[in-house]
Structure 1
Amino acid sequence: MTATLAAQSDPYILPLPSPDSPVVLSHWISPGNTHPNSRYQDPVWSLAPLIDDPSISLYKLRWTSCPAPLREQMKRAVWTMINGELRPTSVSVRKNAARTRASIRGMHTTWLEWMRLARWLHAHGVTTLHSCTAAEWRAYASQRWDELLSRTSAERVCRNLTNLWAFDQLSTCPSGITRPPWDSEGIDDFLPAADGRGGGENVREPLGPEALSPLLIWSIRFVDDFADDILAAWTERRRLAALAAANNANQAGQDALEDLLLPLIQSRAPLPATRYQGRFTLARAYVAALTGASLDQTDEFSKRHGLASLAAERPGPCPLEVPVTGRVEGKLWRGHLDFYEAADLMRHLGTAATIICLYLTGMRPQEIQSLRSGCCPDPGRSPDGSPGRHLIRSRHYKNVADEDGNYISGGEERNVPWVAITPVVHAIRVLERMVPKGELLLGAAHHDFNQQRGFHGTLKSVTLNKRIESFVAWVNHHSMAQGLTGQSIPADPHGPIAVARFRRSLAWHIARRPGGLVALAIQYGHMRTVLDARISSGYGSRSRNGIHSVLDVETALAAADTAALLRDRVAGGEKISGPAARRALTAAATTPRFEGRIVPGTFAKKAAQFLARDGLVLYDNPDAFLICAFKHDNALCAPDPGATAPRQYACQPGCGNTVRTDAHARQLQERADDIDKLAAHAPGPVGKRMRTNAHRLRETAAAHHATAQTLT
């Protein structure tokens, strides 16, 4: 009775669940969610009824991982976390705790931490949560930090552990676990020393151009040049597989088997083979489809003649009757397409299209994973008759909450769509050909080409990372086999190529490679102008969820490096010229030197403020052999209203923002010499234009030497 009255008087207190109570109460399940609900008494709880994001795995909580003496108390606390809400007064005083309910990933992470604590308590003789006192909390935290957690991770762990106490307070039958001391005394003294490690996309290293450029080139080749061949091969492969499965045993099939295979056996020629469990064996489905024999007939014939061993000794191809049309450097990319290679090629095609979307949109992986067929319709024409932009309608998930501050697993559609450049449109069109209409472009069930296991949702990030690794391995093997020297994809110096690194890589290359030292330079330039506009027709223009913060960080870091380089050159005795020389030195003197590559989460806002200092931000432009001390009103590159960066690919001579050093002048001379060497071997008119260009570069260098001063 007392518990019932408490629950009625306090809306945050939940009644005790019964053994048959659902793990997820119905009011937390969205109308379209049809996943089965577990019962409280079940040994495994599914969180699927809470999951509407296709990129999230269907998490399960297995209670065998919890020590038996603590299991019932932990189950009550976890059930309360799944179905309850923290009091607004308790979350308002916490740093970085804005919600009364966690996301699904957050719940799963919290559960894992609670299970880790339960096992530690049990190992130290603590069999009830009531016996977990401040001494146990301190000892556990100290040991946890010995596991090399960063300060940011440690803070997150403390928050998850505090939630065990907080949710215990919301049960009509609390265990009485002691409040963690860091929640009452302050957290700073309980955390390990700051070491710069932490999460977030800005702390991930961008992909290096030496790896990213060939990766992107091969991805575009797959989409633009190989896709028709691969899709046709997959269609033919499925047709033959269905034919083989449907064939009935008959004499005609038996005769066809003998006509096809006996000559190969007698002549010791290669036999149609496939790799199974690490070794070659007879390609039974392919042979059955070609001959009209049943699979049983094919197996019996194979056993009678020992074809499994013969195929392992001399494996042969299984060519499909599909023409090869794609070319690499003028040559057909394959001699033929193989029955048993079709599934792998489809997987690589999907991976290539995903890489293009990840790198050339600026979307987070979660948004790419939730795209559906039809998300990027063909545009109509503008009032002036010009073709409109392709726009991608997507759902975003970060910081999406309802009016009560509760995380919405299904996210919401962006108010402002993303602008898709041509390679992205082509990639989406290929993915649309790989899945049924209206389905997820990366639907796991449709991209499981080998086994068709009907997986839930979309391809997960772990799977995509493995597929990228496999794609790189295929490209490198193919490049070597076809003699395509210099076209392999080298290892990235900062580790595996992962989906989480593409977003920052895009921002890095826009900020650092304005002239296009990486493939698709023109598109990068166009994206920069769209990004700078930040208007409703722009590129993911919602400031909190768009790519602007990532781009601002990279641009600010690049500008800081440029300022440091200018300071060093002037301090080393180099002279400086240009109408913006004195302003550039002022900017360099007031720009802090950025040591290292660690970027805290608060840096994005500071980066935007840094870039807003009109006239005091320096942009290196190696293709124009100058530094731009960008002042909007002086710029001749026609920046958009409100832009905080120049159009570096559209740099114009005579601009009032120009700054050059002696190093730039030397580079101009060296470039002029290189052009003259090329001009000596070029046809007459072309050589003349090249020599004119070289002369212009030398004149620019001479103008620097004539006007340069030592400024301090």
Structure 2
Amino acid sequence: MTSPAPTLLGEPDGLPEGLPEGTIWPGPDTLVLMNREVASDVDPARLSRFADMRWDLNPGIFEAHARSQSLNFETIPEPLRLATKFYVWQLINHPQARTMRRSGTRRIALHTIEILFYGSVQPVMKWFAAQGITEFCQATDELLWEYLDALDADGVTITKRYRRITEVRRLWVHRSILPFYLRLPEAPPWDGEDTKDLLERTRTDRENRTKRISEHTMQPLLRWAIRFLEDFSDDILAAWEEYQVLLARRPEHMRGKRRLRKPGDLQADVAAYLDGLRSRGESLPGTRRHDGTVDVAWRHIASVLNCANSFQFTSSGRMIMESGLPVSGDINLDCPVTAELDGLPWHPRITFAQAPRLARLLSTACFVIVSYLSGARVGEVLNLRRGCVSYDKDTGLWLLQGLYFKGAEDEDGNKIPEGTVREDPWVVIEIVSRAVETLERLHKSHLLFPNRLMPIKRTPGKEPKRRGEARSDRHIAEDMVMFTAWVNERCQHLGRKDHIPTDPGGPIAASRFRRTLAWFIRRKPRGLIAASIQYGHAHTQMLQGYAGSYEAGFLDEYAFEDWLFRMEGIAEDERRLLAGEHVSGPAADAYRYRVQAASREFAGRVLTSERQARDLLGNPLLQIHHGEGMTCVLNPPVAACQLRGSADDPMVTPDTDDCRPNCQCLVRTDRDIEINKERAAELAEIVDDPLAPPIRHARERHELNRLRAIIEHHQRGAQE
């Protein structure tokens, strides 16, 4: 595929003054994506040209879940429209166009260009045009200062101010690849001052604002998702398979494909069909009209009998009408409902109309399981392919392999639009593997989460706006709403209490799963996911397996939750120390010092990224870990327990379930002593029981004596 030849530097006509060396100047028919990778199956005739008013970016978008993306230049004021097209075309195609975060040649991704176009380029150009600007070179330093005042006067939010100021800086940064008339003044805008100094405020969107899903919402959501997978999936898969067979055998789909019957065969088939209904005590399938009357579902019966729809006007049709069987208002499928809920069938007979919805609900349940329990980003999950799960016999780990897009760059630092296969797969627990297996049975698509569970025939020349075949973010959000509504309706009908409550943080978005999983692993390690599976197991797999590499991104989410958890703990520890709480043990002095020093250094600090939290967690002042009846002031070189992670990793933590009594990192607070007193009381009852087995009696007496010595030592120190 080649693009119409653009105007090059050195040609006599059509070049603007001052076009820099290496800059290509597009003509009306130049391809918009001239210097971008385009999908091989795209019709070249459908690619956008420079003269088009709307530029279609979809041929250069490779994420299967991406929404349709385009740039509509009718939204740009007419006096600056052509100038903006030239500028944006260079952002798309010039090899030296770059992002604002780096000084290298890393180009802006097409998706980002679309976001910038509507979010910041458009409002900047509207303001410029309102000031009479027709060429960027007319924007003087004084005018740019007026632009700052206008942002303030118009009450633009701090986040939008940052973005619109950044857009002006972006235009200035790219002056080196633009001709004279498209260049802002040579001096840096606003004397090169930082945006935070110009506005005297810090943008709030750089703080992590992803809200976790509340415990009361996430737990029942996950339980019901697992229930769909483990209990209901066989019934749903059977109903969905029968639905697809019947749909494929509908008369309109079978023209020219149906086998010829011998005379009398159809009557025999009809008789057998009617006898089957009578023996099961069932009615004829029917459809209900708007006025409430019911008609025989002739097209469905034709699918069952694999005959033409016109059979209703033959003697075979009369057999059905004269059978004396009542007509139902539904079309029940033959497959039985075998799974139970509270000792009763989980669902009434599944009808033809219900099968697609239940199949979509099952797909949604599997998405919840795969997305939540892998810690992968939403886009990465939606781009998973068949065969993505494997079991490593050597390590005993379930591995989930797929593409990653965020951070996937070539040797020049440019985004690889089609993504890159992860070097290290995600490590998951077995139930994720079962969800993937179920999805592979649910449909024939190469993607686990296709946009449609049944492919549709596309009309040649009428390609959809969105090229991707995967479920989009928007559709997944709608699926979550539908899944929650179905569960809550079922709970209300059955009088169950385990409905999915509305989350205080807003709609259940899949992008919130990673943060929520990190919270549960950090705060509820012994919380049950299903049956005997605990979040602690997910912690061991995900953080200690291959997914522990920082490329996975999940560690940053976990680090942020760990940071919040530790800062809350430090604040509580300091409050209790100031209130006179006594601490004992070999690391008591280190505990007091760390609590006081950490409070002074970190209290009130705002983090601007999850990775910053991960880096800060390596600070020794924050290495205080509370366990059951003990506190660890971690010093990895002398720790007696089996550390989780390597000693030089900022994410290293002690195994507080494996605490050794002789460890030099041990501290016991008054809170720990209260727990030990409760344990001692329980052990005393066992020791005093004359019927206790001798071996157990000796073991528990030894532990009781140890706890009493700890309690006595602590109390004696508190009195001194």
TM-score, normalising length from structure 2?
0.78
Show the counterpart of 1:51: 61
Q: 1:512 to 1:651 in 2, by over 3 A?
A: farther
Show the counterpart of 2:212: 206
CA deviations over 1:65-84 (Å, ceiling 9, x no partner): 22333322222222222111
Distance (whole Å) between structure 2 residues aligned to residue 483 and residue 698 of structure 1: 51
- Helix, strand or coil: the match of 2:557? helix
Shift of 1:598: 5.3
Shift of 1:645: 0.4
Map 1:558-573; keep pairs closer than 5 Å. 558-573=565-580
Contact 1:223 1:352 in 2 (8 A): yes
Greater shift in the superposed pair: 571-580 or 389-398: 571-580
Show the counterpart of 1:303: none
Show the counterpart of 2:367: 354
Show the counterpart of 1:309: none
- Helix, strand or coil: the match of 1:228? helix
Distance (whole Å) between structure 2 residues aligned to residue 674 and residue 271 of structure 1: 65
Shift of 1:114: 1.9
Show the counterpart of 1:305: none
2:192 counterpart (185, 190, 197): 185
1:583 aligns with 2:623: no
Greater shift in the superposed pair: 507-516 or 453-462: 453-462
Q: 1:662 to 1:189 in 2, by over 3 A?
A: closer
1:197 aligns with 2:219: no
Show the counterpart of 2:87: 77
Q: Which residue identity is paired with 1:57?
A: R
1:707 counterpart (687, 694, 714): 714
Shift of 1:347: 1.5
Show the counterpart of 2:355: 342
Show the counterpart of 1:636: 641
Q: 1:198 to 1:490 in 2, by over 3 A?
A: same
Shift of 1:465: 1.9
Show the counterpart of 2:323: none
CA deviations over 1:479-536 (Å, ceiling 9, x no partner): 2222322x11122222222111111222222222222266578553234335554xxx
- Helix, strand or coil: the match of 1:4? coil
Show the counterpart of 2:28: 19
CA deviations over 1:377-407 (Å, ceiling 9, x no partner): 344x33xxxx742222222222222222222
Q: 1:518 to 1:290 in 2, by over 3 A?
A: closer
1:407 counterpart (401, 405, 415): 415
Q: Which residue identity is paired with 1:352?
A: A
Contact 1:150 1:192 in 2 (8 A): no
User: What is the alpha-carbon root mean square deviation over aligned residues?
Assistant: 4.8
Q: Which residue identity is paired with 1:554?
A: E
Show the counterpart of 1:474: 486
Shift of 1:376: 1.5
Distance (whole Å) between structure 2 residues aligned to residue 271 and residue 106 of structure 1: 53
CA deviations over 1:619-641 (Å, ceiling 9, x no partner): 233xx244332333333355454
Show the counterpart of 2:345: 332
Q: Percent identity?
A: 27
Contact 1:19 1:39 in 2 (8 A): yes
1:604 counterpart (603, 608, 611): 611
1:68 counterpart (78, 81, 86): 78
Shift of 1:422: 0.6
Q: Which residue identity is paired with 1:631?
A: N
Q: 1:95 to 1:292 in 2, by over 3 A?
A: closer
1:416 aligns with 2:424: yes
Contact 2:90 2:97 in 1 (8 A): no
Q: Which residue identity is paired with 2:582?
A: K
**Unaligned 5+ runs, structure 2:** 1-6, 314-326
Distance (whole Å) between structure 1 residues aligned to residue 388 and residue 163 of structure 2: 36
Contact 1:627 1:658 in 2 (8 A): yes
Contact 1:639 1:646 in 2 (8 A): yes
- Helix, strand or coil: the match of 1:203? coil
Contact 1:372 1:441 in 2 (8 A): yes
Shift of 1:373: 0.7
CA deviations over 1:411-445 (Å, ceiling 9, x no partner): 212222221211111111122223436x1212224
Distance (whole Å) between structure 2 residues aligned to residue 109 and residue 145 of structure 1: 23
- Helix, strand or coil: the match of 1:592? helix
1:163 counterpart (151, 167, 170): 170
- Helix, strand or coil: the match of 1:366? helix
1:512 aligns with 2:520: no
Q: 1:177 to 1:240 in 2, by over 3 A?
A: same
- Helix, strand or coil: the match of 1:198? helix
Greater shift in the superposed pair: 509-518 or 72-81: 509-518
CA deviations over 1:152-177 (Å, ceiling 9, x no partner): 55434333333334446524574455
Contact 1:3 1:173 in 2 (8 A): no
Greater shift in the superposed pair: 511-520 or 76-85: 511-520
Distance (whole Å) between structure 1 residues aligned to residue 54 and residue 371 of structure 2: 35
1:37 aligns with 2:47: yes
Distance (whole Å) between structure 2 residues aligned to residue 707 and residue 280 of structure 1: 81
Map 1:242-641; keep pairs closer than 5 Å. 242-245=248-251, 246=253, 272-273=286-287, 286=300, 289-290=303-304, 316-379=329-392, 381-382=393-394, 388-436=396-444, 439-446=446-453, 456-457=467-468, 458-485=470-497, 487-516=498-527, 522-530=533-541, 533=544, 538-592=545-599, 599-601=607-609, 604-605=611-612, 607-611=614-618, 613=620, 617-621=623-627, 624-632=628-636, 633-637=638-642, 639-641=644-646
CA deviations over 1:598-650 (Å, ceiling 9, x no partner): 5312x63454343352x8611233xx244332333333355454362023455
- Helix, strand or coil: the match of 1:509? helix
Distance (whole Å) between structure 2 residues aligned to residue 75 and residue 350 of structure 1: 42
Shift of 1:237: 0.9
Distance (whole Å) between structure 1 residues aligned to residue 304 and residue 595 of structure 2: 73
Q: 1:68 to 1:694 in 2, by over 3 A?
A: farther
Greater shift in the superposed pair: 228-237 or 179-188: 179-188
Contact 1:14 1:171 in 2 (8 A): no
- Helix, strand or coil: the match of 1:611? coil
Contact 2:677 2:711 in 1 (8 A): no
Distance (whole Å) between structure 2 residues aligned to residue 650 and residue 450 of structure 1: 59
Contact 2:624 2:633 in 1 (8 A): yes
